[in-house]
Structures are given as structure tokens and as C-alpha cells.
Amino acid sequence: MLEILADRTYRHLFLAQVVALLGTGLATVALGLLAYDLAGDGAAMVLGTVFTIKMVAYVGIAPIAGAFADRVNRRALLVGLDLVRVCAALCLPFVTEVWQVYVLIFLLQSASAGFTPTFQATIPDVLPEEGRYTRALSLSRLAYDFENIVSPTLAALLLAVMSYNSLFLGTVVGFAASALLVVSVMLPSPKSSEPRGIYDRTTRGIRIYLATPRLRGLLALNLAAAAVGAMVLVNSVVLVRGSLELSESALAWTMFAFGTGSIISAFSLPRLLDRFSDRAVMIGGATVMVLTLLCLALEVSLFGLTWVALLVAWASAGIGYSAVLTPSGRLLKRSAHSTDRPAIFAAQFALSHACWLLTYPLSGWLVTQHGSVVALVGLAIIAICGITVALLVWPSGDPSVFQHTHKNLPIDHPHLKGQRTHSHALIIDEKHPRWDTHF
């Protein structure tokens, strides 16, 4: 997997992703402390509003940014958005009112909503060969999982010698380093697509996405992943600190178990995807997540919750979670021309976060009002619905290459190159199929 880091452009982009993630992780810890400083017992409400603002920015801004990403130099766009994030993070230590936090977070997350899908759409252009791209996706998943472990540890070490406001400076350094790494390489920018109106450009990515069977299946599996992920991310603190009455370090180890399962899965996926289809691996991963929640609910209802059972369950959930999310980039790459990739990745970014916008509050409400067993079963049912929809809308024989014949073209037509029957990569448009890239 690590051999793809020999590519200088990808290596710099991967390092940019890592340092930006570390900066974001430090900001997450600092925001919690800042919210408590400003609102005291109302800190939970402040943080809840912050997370809602984040999701609204992701869902609303990403399609707009993706619509115009092919109109500007990709490297200049990424660097400019990084600098916006630097400015927003630099202002956070100086806020004195809660509303100022909301404004700055919306600005920062709006920049991230433009940066992340554009960044993701760049990787398949840098690594066009699918095997190498698959390994890049696994490496990216590892970066997210390691960030979940490293950022809290680094924050704890820094807080031992400095105030929490200093953590925002770490965020500034992370985004600035990301900008420097991006500007240090040349990035491919696809040619602009044909001129379109603002509405057409803004909604094009979502229309293509929803018209593509495999991407409709991906959206359904995103819902399954969001349901299980919300149970882990929202309710772990309630289960560990409340139900089990364990320490803060126990909570860290519980989240570590989830990250470890995800890491194990990410290391295994390149070989699995060489042998099995994306559909089989992703539906298998979603099934593992559902069975994990149902088994844990049964364990809790019969014998009560134990920490060992929770650790095993979260590690298993992490394995399934990574198996669902990691291959998604392959599906997006396979489903659009290079000119449409920023819009398609932006659509995935917005629609997947819309799933989280639903499951985040639902997960917390179920545990608060009905307890952990109802929450586990309820979120498992949502995940089952997602898997069912994926099975129905994503054909099992979904081809990445489509065999077809041009009956009415002359033999010397450049599209034929001497053959009437040949293969193309299958691209789904919002109105009709089209084909690209001869094999």
C-alpha cells in the first residue's frame, strides 16, 4: 500500500491531508473547551449548534463549490480555501461571544465543503490506474482513523503545558502546511465542460449521482454507515461514562477499538477488492455493522452492558464501517468523466452528510428517551433499510466496462478505430448513458 507514496504529487497531497486532519482534530478539542468557557452548562447546546452548522455548510455549500470547481485552476482553488480556513482558525482564540463562534465555524466549514470534494476529485487524476487508486483510498481511510487516535493524544500533551486557545494555533499551522504542500506540486485540472446555466451547474452533480444505479446504492449504504457511526460517535460517552461509570481514559480506549477495527479493514481492502466486487464488499461491510448492533442489543438486554462486549462490538463496527466507506471513491471515479468529477464528489460529500444530519440527532434522542437497547435496534433497522435499498437499486451485475456495437457508423469512424464491437467505461449521465475511454 505504501509504495504509492513514491509518487511525489500524491505524497504531497497525502501529507497535506494528514496535517489538515491533525489541525482539525486539535480544533475539535479546543472548541469543546471554548464552548464551556463561553456558555458553562450550556456548552452542549453550543456544540450541538456548531455540529449542525457544520453539516448545513457541508450539505449546502459542497454542490455549489463542485459546480464551479472546473472553472478555476484546481491548485489555486485548494490553496485559496486552505487560506480561508487559516484566517477563520486564527480568529477563534479571540472570540468573546457565542455568535462569533457560529460565524467563524460556518466560514471554516464552508471552505472545507469546497476543499474536501475538490481534493478527493483530484486523486483519481493523479493516480488514474485503479489498483493504485484503491490503495490511495485505503491510505486515506487510515489517515482518518489515525487522526481519531493521534489528535486527542496530541491535544492532551499540549494542554499540559499551554492553554486551550493555543490549540487553535496548531489548527492554523495544519491548514497553512496543507496549503504549502498543495502549492508545491502541479495538479491536473480537467478542461471545462460545456457552458451551462447556474442552476444546471449547481445541481448537475446531484442529478448525475441520483441517475446512476451504483451511486444510488452508495447513498443507501451511506445511510447505513451513518446510522451505525452515529451510534458510536454520539453515544459512546453515554455508554462508557454513564452506563458503565468508567473513566475518561476508558472512553478513549473504546473509541480506539472502533478506529482499530477500521484500520484493520483498510489494510485488508485492497486485496479483497482485487477478488470481490465493490458491491459485495460494501454490502458485506454494512451487514457486519448491522449484526454487530443487534448482537450488542441482545447482549445488553439479556446480561447487561460490559466493557469487553462494547470494545469487541465497536471494533467489529469499525471493520464494517471502513468496508462501506473506503471503496466509495472507486464508484465515483467510475461514474463520471473527469470534467464532472468535482461535481460528483461534491454530490457525494453533500448527500452523505445529509445522512449524518439525520442520524446524529436521532441517535442521541433514542438513547436519551428510550435507552441503549432501543437505540441499538432502531439504528440497526435504519441500516437494514439502507442495505435493502442498495440491493434493490444497485444491480448485482453492475459492469465497470460495457460491451456494445456501433451498427450505423462507417468502419473508418474514429470512434471505432477499426472495430465495431469493443469496450468502453460505462458513464451514466442524468439523461442517458454515454461512454468514455477505450479499453
pLDDT in tens, 175-231: 999 999 999 888 776 555 555 555 555 677 788 888 889 999 999 999 999 999 888
- Quick one: which H or E segment has residue 23? helix 8-39
12, 179, 182, 255, 378 from 19: Cα distances, Å: 11, 10, 12, 21, 37
Q: Residues 394-431, buried b or exposed e (16+ Cβ, 10 A)?
A: beeebebeeeeeeeeeeeeeeebeeeeebbbbbbbbee
The predicted model gives 264-269 an average pLDDT of 86
pLDDT at 313: 96
CATH architecture of structural domain 207-398: Up-down Bundle (1.20)
Q: Residues 1-38, buried b or exposed e (16+ Cβ, 10 A)?
A: beebeebebbebbbbbbbbbbbbbbbbbbbbbbbbbeb
pLDDT at 191: 57
Among the residue ranges 63-67, 98-102, 343-347, the one predicted with the least confidence is 63-67
User: Does the pLDDT at position 2 exceed 80?
Assistant: no
Among the residue ranges 91-100, 129-138, 313-322, the one predicted with the least confidence is 129-138
Output the CA angle 276-117-319, nearest 5 degrees.
Answer: 40
What is the Cα–Cα distance from 126 to 179, expressed in whole angstroms?
18
> CB–CB of 134/330 below 8 Å?
yes
The predicted model gives 388-414 an average pLDDT of 62
Q: What is the pTM of this model?
A: 0.72
Share of the chain above pLDDT 70, in %: 80
Protein fold of 7-189: Growth Hormone; Chain: A; (1.20.1250)
User: Does the pLDDT at position 418 exceed 90?
Assistant: no
Interval 66-91: pLDDT, tens: 666 666 778 888 899 899 999 999 99
Three-state secondary-structure class, residue 362: helix
pLDDT at 282: 95
pLDDT band at 414 (very low <50, low <70, confident <90, very high): very low
pLDDT at 379: 95
Output the CA angle 181-185-189, nearest 5 degrees.
Answer: 115
Specify which residues 438 forms β-bridges with.
424
Q: Which phi and psi (to 5°) does residue 417 adopt?
A: 50, 40
> CB–CB of 235/373 below 8 Å?
no
Q: Which phi and psi (to 5°) does residue 212 adopt?
A: -100, 115
Three-state secondary-structure class, residue 394: coil
The 10 Å Cβ neighbour count of residue 145 is 23
The 10 Å Cβ neighbour count of residue 116 is 20
From 375, 343, 418, 357, select the one nearest 114 (Cα to Cα): 343
The answer for 26, left when phi > 0, alpha when psi is -120 to 50, beta otherwise, is: alpha
Looking at residue 243, the DSSP 8-state letter turns out to be I
Every domain of the chain with CATH number 1.20.1250.20 lies at 7-189, 207-398
Q: C-alpha cell of 191? A: 478542461
User: Does the pLDDT at position 409 exceed 60?
Assistant: no
Looking at per-residue confidence, does 251 or 434 come out higher? 251
Interval 286-303: pLDDT, tens: 999 999 999 999 999 999
> CB–CB of 191/71 below 8 Å?
no
User: Does the pLDDT at position 236 exceed 60?
Assistant: yes
Mean pLDDT computed over every residue of the chain: 79
3-state helix, strand, coil in the chain (%, to 5): 80, 5, 15
Q: C-alpha cell of 253? A: 480506549
Among the residue ranges 170-179, 268-277, 417-426, the one predicted with the least confidence is 417-426
Specify which residues 436 forms β-bridges with.
425
pLDDT at 413: 38
